[in-house]
Amino acid sequence: MKLFADCSDAPLSHLSSKSTMEDNGWVVDATFHSLTSNIATCSANTFYGWSTGSNIAQAVTKFRGNGGAKLLFGNCYNSGFVSVYLNDIQIGYVYSQGSDIVKFNYRKGDIISIKAHSVQASAILALYSLEITDWGKKK
């Protein structure tokens, strides 16, 4: 599996903070994000965020090229669930304090969104890694 260091979508894999993600093409809607009080259950080295009430925390981006991707994501709280959508079709989800990997191919213009859904309390959306690859490259 070859990783594209020079791929137009490579910057999307920088998930260290909300500002870094937004600088690289993500739209992040989260009332709270990356607070030090949650590092024990989330991670100090990646983005995590949540919203309160009926608001849904989410991270969304549009792919600029064609290729494949592997996303490691999770819910680092003890409530709710986090789901992943490619062009509004659910391709993965996890419940409280869970994580999962989704692999998918994409085309230029495809949209990926990761959402934290509340049940009785807010889920915390965690994005651990996104690898952009050339496997299954669509043309």
Q: Distance of CA 110 to CAs 85, 94, 105, 124, 138, Å?
A: 10, 22, 10, 24, 12
Contacts of 36 (CB under 8 A, 6+ apart): none
Query: Among 16-20, 38-42, 132-136, which stretch is predicted with the lowest mean pLDDT?
Result: 38-42
Q: Which has more confidence, 74 or 35?
A: 74
Average pLDDT, the chain: 86
Of 49, 26, 55, the closest CA to residue 127 belongs to 49
Can you give the pLDDT at residue 36? 57
pLDDT of 138 higher than 70 = no
pLDDT of 6 higher than 60 = no
Judge whether 67 and 1 are in contact, CB under 8 Å. Answer: no
Sign of the four-CA dihedral 78, 80, 86, 91 = positive
Can you give the pLDDT at residue 3? 46
* pTM, full prediction: 0.87
Topology of domain 10-133, CATH: Jelly Rolls (2.60.120)
Can you give the pLDDT at residue 40? 64
Element counts in the chain: helices (H) and strands (E):
1, 10
Q: Which has more confidence, 49 or 37?
A: 49
For residue 55, what pLDDT band results from cuts at 50, 70 and 90? confident
User: Residue 25, class by beta-carbon neighbours within 10 Å (0-12 exposed, 13-18 middle, 19+ buried)?
Assistant: middle
Can you give the pLDDT at residue 8? 87
Average pLDDT over residues 85-112: 96
Q: Which has more confidence, 57 or 87?
A: 87
Can you give the pLDDT at residue 120? 65
**Strand partners of residue 109:** none
